[in-house]
Chain A
Amino acid sequence: MEIDQHAAGTAAPPPVRIIPIPDATSAGYWEAAANHVLTVARCAVCGQTTLPPDMSCPHCHTTEPGFTFVPVEGKARVRTWTVIRRPFLQGFTPPFMLVDVELNDHPHIRMVAGLLDGAEAKLEIGTPVVVAFEDIAPKISVPAFRLEKSA
């Protein structure tokens, strides 16, 4: 990204983040996220959870899963991580840390999201993190994580 270093007296505008566009399968997820609540999709037939919701349930394979979005505790453990120094997407200022976590109360669900503690954070497998949200636009918040000890 080109940043005009000579724009006297004005900071560079914050990068424009990519906006998630909810659809019929995800509206409940993003509504909850806007209220800083992390949810997972629960199948109305078998009661098991997944993320992201698919057109069928990955557990019982019903084509009428009737997913509802149920809040989760929001605590997770780091499985792995990477520092992105060359993003493929606009709106992200490198370097930044992505963590791949498993949710404590739904350990079969893995999520990849930003770690708000920055690229220098010290991590190992199992490091506890808690969900946090980035407010990227009016009424649009994106899940991220923060080290539990710093939260």
Chain B
Amino acid sequence: MSRVFKARNQVALVGYAHSPAVRRATRPLGVTAIETAKAAIADAGLTVGQIDGFVSAPLLPASGEHKAQDGISIVSSHWLAQHIGADPAYAVGFQGIGQLIGSLTLAVNAIASGAADYILFHRALHNPAGSYNDNPMTEARGADQWVAPQGFYGSMPTIALAYNEYCQRYGATREALAVVVSEARKNGARIPWSAWYGKPLSVEQYLAEPTLFDPLCRYDADMPVEGVACFVLTSAERAKDLKNKPVYIAGYAIGYPRENRPMLHWTLDDMMEAGKGVAARLWRSSGLGVADIDLPQAYDGFSPFVYIWMETLGLCKLGEAHELVLSGGIDSDKPRTIPVLSGGGAIGNGRMHGVPQMLENYLQLSGRAGERQRADLTTGLSCHSTPSLGGAVVYTNDPV
């Protein structure tokens, strides 16, 4: 990348809509996507006819045997554009892991380059019937042959292995992770569209839950849900004329796995090593440093990722995130803390794949968080997936 990110603060979020995140949907995912997209366009003060770009990441994340069917289990950009009656100049989908940030960078770049003027950005998540992760395979071919015959399969064992290495190395305890999960659920319980609205989880409830993948229990993973979130992006210039206070994208960075490993073997060291590059590129891209960020939102699709991101970004020292958590350092209701889960995260909202982190930045920095509105915010940051597969975005409502 050249030294200056030319799109810095040139692209803005100008509207949003979020459907209820529900365990089981009563209507097709596509219907929810159409309605949520229309709501977001209206929220931005625009009409469907003005939307000339559609960007998304349509992956169905369940690791069991589930088919991707457009409009049913996934919603692609093309499908949504067609079903909403738009005639886009640009409609694309991001493939791969780190869906939210991968697709968001496509949208930012498209606006900055002039490929589109107004982009409808969406993420639609389907919760398939039956077990989300169970796989009935009796033979293991391709990438599966290196893991499944040994009994290694699914993301929870992956995270349990990486997190246990963290615990063994730094002395982290289940009591600290209970605080992470409880903080996410406390904040998610305050969000009307959350799958956990009105349902906080106490530290005691967490600690009473048996482990399933030691040292993790079921509360350490976000709950699969069905739901759709949409955002509208446009140029900073066009945003001036719209009704909502714009929130500008200051910069972004994505990380990549470097080591050849078996499928889903994400080691702690691999994630942290990738994180060094992500952090360096993020600060260079945005022109800001960690001390400048008012509202960092850590990704928590699995609770240990909160530590990984806090340490990757330099919000605390390496190996000390769990101590900061245990001392009340991420409590969003206390002054002078680092409220990394103020938006409830994935654990507090349901598996919306990075949407809660992005949305909390948008709501708080545009002054639209209602009763949850925090004071004196200028900058924010959302983390997505892991540093080796996702990345982070920096936002500001006051571009210099």
Contact = CB atoms under 8 A, between A and B. Distances in A.
B139 A112 contact: no
Contact of A125 (B134, B149, B168): B168
A21 to B, nearest CB: 5
A71 interface: no
A125 B167 CA distance: 10
Given A52-B146, A125-B169, A18 B210 contact: no
Interface string A23-35: 1001000100000
Among A17, A88, A91, the one with the most B-chain Cβ atoms within 10 Å of its Cβ is A88
The 10 A-B pairs at the shortest CB distance, nearest first, are namely A58-B260, A80-B165, A82-B160, A88-B154, A83-B214, A20-B145, A113-B150, A86-B212, A112-B152, A52-B146
B355 to A, nearest CB: 25
A23 B142 contact: yes
A91 B152 CA distance: 12
Nearest to A57: B260
Contacts of A22: 145
B130 interface: no
B161 A81 contact: yes
Interface of A: 16-23, 26, 30, 50-52, 54, 58, 79-92, 96, 98, 100, 108, 110-114, 124-125, 136, 142-144
B213 A84 contact: yes
A58 B124 CA distance: 35
A80 B145 contact: no
A136 to B, nearest CB: 7
A22 B142 CA distance: 8
Interface string B249-287: 000000000011110010110000000000000000000
Contacts of B50: none
A114 B150 contact: yes
A1 B39 CA distance: 45
Interface string B135-156: 1111111110111111111100
B151 A125 contact: no
B113 interface: no
A112 B164 contact: no
Interface in B204-250: 210-216
Contacts of A83: 211, 213-214
Interface in B61-81: 63-64
Taking residues whose C-beta sits less than 8 angstroms from the other chain, chain B's interface range is 35 or more
B141 A87 contact: no
B157 interface: yes
A142 B146 CA distance: 10
B257 to A, nearest CB: 11
A34 to B, nearest CB: 12
Given A20-B140, A90-B136, 9 more contacts: A21-B145, A30-B145, A51-B146, A52-B260, A79-B267, A87-B153, A88-B135, A89-B134, A100-B165
B63 A88 contact: yes
Interface in B24-53: none
Contacts of B152: 98, 112-113
B124 to A, nearest CB: 24
B210 A85 contact: yes
A31 to B, nearest CB: 13
A124 B168 contact: yes
B106 interface: no
A82 B213 contact: yes
Contacts of B268: 80
Nearest to A82: B160
Contact of A96 (B136, B151, B168): B151
Given A18-B138, A21-B139, A84-B157, A89 B260 contact: no
A21 B153 CA distance: 16
Contacts of A50: 260
B173 interface: no
Contacts of B324: none
Contacts of A108: 259
B269 to A, nearest CB: 9
A136 B140 CA distance: 13
A125 B64 CA distance: 32
B138 A90 contact: yes
B138 A80 contact: no
